[in-house]
Amino acid sequence: MPTLGTSSLTIVAVVAAIAVVSLVFAAVLRRQVLAADGGTARMQGIATAVQEGASAYLHRMLRTLVLFAVVVFALLFLLPGDTGVRVGRSVFFLLGAGFSAAIGYLGMWLAVRANVRVAAAATRPGGRSEGARIAFRTGGVVGMSVVGLGLLGAASVVLIYRGDAPAVLEGFGFGAALLAMFMRVGGGIFTKAADVGADLVGKVEQHIPEDDPRNAATIADNVGDNVGDCAGMAADLFESYAVTLVAALILGRVAFGEEGLVFPLLVTAIGALTAALGVVLTRVRGNESGLRAIYRGFYVSAVVGALLAAVAAFVYLPGSFAELTGVGDVLADHDGDPRVVATLAVLIGIVLAGVILWLTGYFTGTASKPTLHVARTSLTGPATVVLSGIGVGFESAVYTAGIIAAAICGVFLVSGGSVWLSLFLVALAGCGLLTTVGVIVAMDTFGPVSDNAQGIAEMSGDVDAEGAQTLTDLDAVGNTTKAITKGIAIATAVLAATALFGSYSDAVRQALADIGDMIEPAGLSFAMLSYEVISPITLVGVILGAATVFLFSGLAIDAVTRAAGAIVFEVRRQFREMPGIMTGEVRPDYGRVVDICTRDSLRELATPGLLAAFAPIAVGFGLGVGPLAGFLAGSIAAGVLMAVFLANAGGTWDNAKKIVEDGQFGGKGSDAHAAVVIGDTVGDPFKDTAGPAINPLIKVMNLVALLIAPAVVQVSIGPDADHVVRLSIAVVAAGIAFGAVILSRLRAARVDREGRLENDPSVV
């Protein structure tokens, strides 16, 4: 096992200690949140129903995923490599999955207890600042837990496995990404099925408010906010944190030697300190906007993080590449200063986070021109609302992708044109962006907590008009912060995937080095190795990678459509068969809707997961490592554009609805209101199911490619090549991936027919 110097191990141990302190700080914040007033008896009763529904769903989902995790744990043993590394990779796969699940559960558990406290704060003087403080500190608990567990896991691997840590960290990152993708997809289907069903029947058909207690889908809607946004986003950002660290440490060993295994941990440890600073500083002053206070906390923590990262670089790193411990011969002759290039890479990542924050806020904010334009189109009907929102989504995707591309180009220029150094610096830029992750998670959790608080207040009837307006304002801020954090999460995903792309190339390079001169120099084997896009077979890989993103998105949106249809039928049935609901004499059957959402979301969970895991296996073993590289490139390019389009279009529709509901263009109950509600229902699966799930999707596929690369090389070329085995694996993988899609379609057809027969007996 390669060793690390005493000073490096000491620094890693300090990083682990910072991780523990972060978890302690999270516990302190948690106690502060729970110490707040829990509200009236009616508020607590509604909150308890939400808590029970959310806990039941997550418990059932995690039980469903245990078998899947055990199977992957066993399969990781079959991959090539040293026995100790394979054992560690499998064990830390479970640890990464467990941490991701724990973060998601923690986010849900605290959010469903904080929402009632935010609602209660609105009933008292100064409710705006107190409610914002509770909501943001709830997110701070989750944010500090993300930082703490991510750092603790990575630092533990480095302390135990030293120079072999990058190979073991592949399993840690894979476990985190896989669980996050499942939580994103399952939670997204649940929350948007309930939300769409509640809006279409309640607002459009029955003309009652969004969180009216007469709507049977309201409890499920509030449950969904927590299992989708809180649990799903927390797990998503945790896996981004873990996967970015994995890529940085793998490439850091290649580019910077021993220092490359330590410096990324230093940068992210600084992020833990700045996250705590950002959470403490974020407080609403008087009547100022909650968004302004959140921006202030973010930008202050970002600036401090950049300064501390620069100090760490100049204290820890040497003044020339030749002085780096274990650096390769190519970079040893690099005439740059490692301290300067590392500082600039981190700075690029931090600046990227700030620019994405501003840009996403511009396209989705309630006071921005694009959102006001979409709201204004409600005067001409739902079709123009949908069309204008799609246009805003497409346009914002181009600008966001361009900014991310510019950041990657900037990193390449800083590297002086060295490909390996630039790939490490991309990962380092991702670590720089993640110095703000604690505040980013807090911003995201703020959204569903304030949304649920408004729902609890409306359902209980215990909040006066002034308090209701306070909660409406906080909810609008939360809509914007959720959109912003989705944008930053997408940027993080792209940087992490790009860095993992480099890690994949390194894995292939090492596998080829083991074979040496025994590779067939021409013919089919050469084509399978070619990374040139001009090669037709590599271009096929690019097309398949982009197509997988589209197929995954379509499956996620279609799953929401089917589940939402079931909710619409159920809520209509209750209104039709229980007329006392509208007069308040009969209580709706909330539990029935929660059960439908849970059943449908868990039923749809496996298909996108199997597609993500087995599509790269089919391409790699079927076409070779070159086309698999093209597959990854296509998935990254299509993934960033699709994710931004879906997230920003959905966020714009959501806030356009808020603008109309606040009284503009006819206000609640008008035709314009019905139009923006329909636009919002279209955007719901865009922004909260398919869009966010693309982030872990592209990282899962990159990690699968990274893990299988040595095996693909072994069975494809050289003296041990076995094309029968190779093609058999490819056929089985393709059969599993597309078999799951076909079964999903057959199941969808059966469910649609059963639903039509149940609700319309004339259907034959």
pLDDT for res 761: 43
What per-residue confidence (pLDDT) applies to 543? 93
Give pLDDT, residue 393. Answer: 92
Q: In angstroms, what CA-CA distances link 693 with 354, 364, 375, 696, 698?
A: 23, 19, 27, 6, 9
Q: Average pLDDT of 601-627?
A: 84
Widest Cα–Cα separation across the chain: 82
Q: What is the 8-class DSSP label of residue 689?
A: I
The token pair that represents 5 in the structure block: 């110097």
Task: Using the predicted structure, report yes or no on whether residue 525 has a pLDDT greater than 70.
Answer: no
- State percent of the chain over pLDDT 90: 10
What pLDDT was estimated at residue 81? 67
User: How far is 362 from 358, CA to CA, in rounded Å?
Assistant: 6
Supply the pLDDT for residue 383.
92
**DSSP three-state, residue 752:** helix
pLDDT in tens, 383-434: 999 999 999 999 999 998 899 899 989 988 988 877 778 888 888 898 888 8
In this predicted structure, what is the pLDDT of residue 280? 81
> Tokens representing 33?
């949140």
How does pLDDT run across 261-313, given as a tens digit for each residue? 888 888 988 988 888 888 888 777 766 676 777 788 888 888 998 999 999 99
User: In this predicted model, what pLDDT tens digit does every residue of 85-136 receive, in sequence order?
Assistant: 788 888 888 898 888 888 888 888 888 888 888 888 877 776 677 877 888 8
Question: pLDDT band at 619, cuts 50/70/90?
Answer: very high
Highest mean pLDDT among 192-196, 206-210, 295-299, 625-629: 625-629
Distance CA 293, CA 610 (A): 42
Four-residue CA torsion sign, 553, 554, 559, 564:
positive
Supply the mean pLDDT for the chain: 81
Q: Would you give the end-to-end CA distance of the chain in angstroms? A: 68
Q: Tokens 């830029």 map to which residue?
A: 429
pLDDT of res. 24: 93
Question: Which residue in the block uniquely carries the two structure tokens 């202050």?
Answer: 300
Query: What is the predicted pLDDT for the residue at 720?
Result: 67
DSSP string, 440-468: HHHHHHHHHHHHHHHHHHHHHT-S-HHHH
Tokens in use for 756? 């039509």
The pLDDT of residue 1 is 43
Residues 6+ positions from 18 with CB-CB distance below 8 Å: 151, 269, 272, 273
Rounded CA-CA distance 754/731 in Å is: 33
Q: What is the pLDDT of residues 211-245, one digit of tens each?
A: 677 888 887 777 777 777 777 777 877 888 888 88
pLDDT tens digit sequence for 751-763: 556 555 455 444 3
Token representation of residue 592 = 């029935």
| Alpha carbon distance 567, 571 (integer Å) | 6
- The DSSP annotation for 312-330 comes to HHHHHS-SSGGGSTT--HH
Residue 611 · residue 737 · CB < 8 Å: yes
**What is the predicted pLDDT for the residue at 550?**
93
Question: Can you give the C-alpha Rg of the chain in angstroms?
Answer: 25
Which pLDDT score, from 0 to 100, does residue 757 have? 47
The structure's pTM equals 0.83
Give the per-residue pLDDT at 385: 92
Looking at per-residue pLDDT, the higher value among 666 and 545 belongs to: 545
Phi, psi of 121 (to 5 degrees): -65, -30
Instruction: Say how many C-beta atoms besides its own lie within 10 A of residue 414's C-beta.
Output: 23
Note the pLDDT of residue 347: 93
Dist. CA 233–CA 188, nearest whole Å: 10
Separation of alpha carbons 50 and 48, rounded Å: 5
Q: How far is CA 510 from CA 18, 332, 504, 514, 713, in A?
A: 34, 20, 10, 6, 10
Paired tokens of 764 = 């034959």
The pLDDT, as a whole number, for residue 749 is 64
Predicted pLDDT at 480: 73
The pLDDT score that the predictor gives to residue 763 is: 39
Are 112 and 445 a contacting pair, CB within 8 Å? no
For helices 465-515 and 691-716, what crossing angle results, to 10°? Answer: 10
195-204, 508-517, 518-527, 646-655: the lowest-pLDDT one: 518-527
Alpha helix (H) residue ranges in 257-289:
258-281
Nearest CA-CA partner of 33 in 106, 105, 114: 114
Tell me what percent of the residues of the chain surpass a pLDDT of 70. 91
The answer to whether the beta carbons of residues 310 and 350 sit under 8 Å apart is no
Q: Which amino acid is at 662?
A: D
Of 510, 502, 15, 625, the closest CA to residue 250 belongs to: 502
pLDDT at 380: 92
Provide mean pLDDT across the span 608-619: 87
Amino acid at 146: V
Residues ≥6 apart with Cβ < 8 Å to 422: 411, 412, 414, 415
Residue 644 has pLDDT above 50, yes or no: yes
Backbone angles phi, psi at 361, to 5 degrees: -60, -35
Cβ 492 vs Cβ 356: under 8 Å: no
Q: How far apart are CA 481 and CA 486, in angstroms?
A: 9
- Tens of pLDDT along 684-704? 888 888 888 888 888 888 888
> Is the pLDDT score of 741 beyond 90?
no
Which three-class secondary structure state does DSSP give residue 589? coil
Query: If we measure between CA atoms, which residue out of 302, 549, 317, 252 comes closest to residue 432?
Result: 302
Contact 280, 445 (CB under 8 A): no
What local confidence, expressed as pLDDT, does residue 691 receive?
A: 84
pLDDT in tens, 334-388: 677 888 998 999 999 989 888 888 888 888 877 788 999 999 999 998 999 999 9
- How far apart are the C-alpha atoms of 438 and 182, rounded to whole Å? 22
Query: What's the confidence (pLDDT) of residue 462?
Result: 72
